[in-house]
Amino acid sequence: MASAWRSRITAAVGTAGVLVFGIASPAWADPTTISINSGNIADGGTSAATYKNKSCDPNFGGGPYAGQDVWVFNLPSDGPEAEKSTFVSITATFDTGSGTATRSIPPDGQIVFNGTSKGYTTTPAGWKLTGATAVVTKAEPFFVLTHTCPAGVATTAPTTTKPPTTTAVPTTGTVPTSGSTTSAPVTTTGVAQTSAAVTTGVAPATSAPGSDGGLPVTGSAVGGLVAVGVGLVAAGAALLFLRRRRAGGTEA
């Protein structure tokens, strides 16, 4: 009787275990492989320079870099963050122009989580993406090439040269004035100019009245004195003539 009960209990436990593991198996499923959205691959391959979405984000590879393209992949997944599918690895193939090359992320790049799972890698400039697959934690229809950061070449901003500005610097020279031993200052302005010197004559000095004990003498005063002198001389001569004539008449 006891043996029969033990058999029944063992069977029940086994059935429960099958049910529990059967129900939980989807959540504990092994990683699965999915492909990139076919719309991201152009005929002949997709180049970073011509891809429609371009962005250089320091969180996803940074850039731009001289001679290097950055490729960023995204895994769209709905639901709470803890339930979203994430990248385990990404394998991308490229046309190098002279053959085919593969980039594996990791180690040829990094996988990060920022809202959704993302992965990025770099390649020499000009390579074209021809296909990609990814191992993910939960099956999704596809993953996408979210954006690229094409190679950039560091350039030096052109230097704008302004014409030199001529500042007026006053320079002082001297020009001798006529009739004087002193020099009158002349100011010249600018780099090249013609300076016009103005010469000022010195008027003859006159003596102030009473400075030498005499009266000031002018041209008109001298003429008057001469006329008076001539008149006096003439009057004296006339008187002398009349006097002699009278004297002669008396003697006769």
Residue 160 CB coordination number (10 Å): 5
Helix (H) or strand (E) holding 180: none
CA distance 17 to 64: 55
Tokens of 44: 């002949």
Task: Name residue 138's amino acid.
Answer: K
Condensed to tens digits (0 to 9), the pLDDT of residues 107-166 reads 999 999 999 999 999 999 999 999 999 999 999 999 999 999 999 964 333 443 444 554
As a whole number of angstroms, the longest Cα–Cα distance in the chain is 225
Q: How many domains does the chain have?
A: 1
Residue 239 lies in a domain: no
Question: Is 188 within the bounds of a domain?
Answer: no
Place of tokens 């610097």: 169
- Tell me the C-alpha distance between 243 and 252, whole Å: 15
Average per-residue pLDDT in the chain? 73
- Is residue 138 in some structural domain? yes
The DSSP call for residue 202 is P
Q: How many helices (H) and strands (E) does the chain have?
A: 2, 11
Render the burial of 49-76: b for 16+ CB within 10 Å, e for the rest. Answer: eebeeeebeeebbebbbeebbbbbbbbe
Whether residue 58 is contained in a domain is answered as yes
- Write phi, then psi, for 185 (nearest 5 degrees): -65, 140
Residue 20 banded pLDDT, cuts 50, 70, 90: very low
Is residue 93 assigned to a domain?
Answer: yes
pLDDT at 131: 98
List pLDDT tens digits, range 168-184: 544 455 444 444 444 44
Task: Return left, alpha or beta for 100; rule: phi > 0 is left, psi -120 to 50 is alpha, else beta.
Answer: beta
pLDDT tens sequence across 75-91: 999 999 999 999 999 99
57 found inside a domain: yes
pLDDT at 238 over 90: no
Contact 110, 59 (CB under 8 A): no
Q: Which residues, including other chains, have CB under 8 Å from residue 166's CB and lie 6 or more apart?
A: 190, 191
Residue 207 lies in a domain: no
The answer to whether residue 132 is domain-embedded is yes
Range of the domain at 131: 27-149
| 190 has pLDDT over 80 | no
- pLDDT over threshold 50, residue 73: yes
Instruction: Say if CB 69 and CB 46 are below 8 A apart.
Output: no
